[in-house]
Amino acid sequence: VEKIKILESEINEYKRECEILTEKLKLETVKSEQAIKEMQHKLEWNKLDHEKSQQLITKLEFELNHMKNSPNYIEYKALLIKLEKIEKRGNQRERELESSYLKLLQTNDDLEEKMTKKYDSIITTKNQQIKSLQNELSVLMTAFEKI
């Protein structure tokens, strides 16, 4: 009889533990269900936000394509291309001008050097002629003084 009472007591203890665990399990189940519902709600909001974003992207792409095909944009692109060509030609002309200028400077330096040599040669010749004439004059003056 006592063994039965002990067993019944153990059984009752196990039943209480089972009831407590069952309650905990129910509580965790309710919490999990709430978390799942909350996540589903967030997922729905994210889907709505994604759809709104997609609609906005579609609208903006349409507007962008419309703008790209507008006369003003086409004219702007044409002018931009012309401007780039003008800038390239300007840069090329600037390089050509710089090259011509450097050639001119070199030619001018060469010409100046030739002219300097030529005139130095002429001056040297004239100086020699002057000295020769001075010598002749000196000889004549000496001869004239003797007379």
Query: Could you tell me what percentage of the chain is helix, strand and coil, using 3-state DSSP and rounding each to the nearest 5?
Result: 95, 0, 5
pLDDT at 15 over 90: yes
Q: What is the mean pLDDT of residues 24-40?
A: 95
Distance of alpha carbon 92 from alpha carbon 85, whole angstroms: 10
Cα torsion 41, 42, 43, 44: sign = positive
Instruction: Indicate the pLDDT class of residue 145, thresholds 50, 70 and 90.
Output: confident
Model pLDDT, residue 116: 93
Q: What is the pLDDT of residues 81-118, one digit of tens each?
A: 999 999 999 999 999 999 999 999 999 899 999 999 99
Q: What is the pLDDT of residues 47-83, one digit of tens each?
A: 999 999 999 999 999 999 998 888 888 999 999 999 9
Cα dihedral 93/94/100/101 (nearest 10): 150
| 16 C-beta neighbours (distance < 10 Å), count | 10
Residue with tokens 């020699």: 128
Distance of alpha carbon 44 from alpha carbon 40, whole angstroms: 6
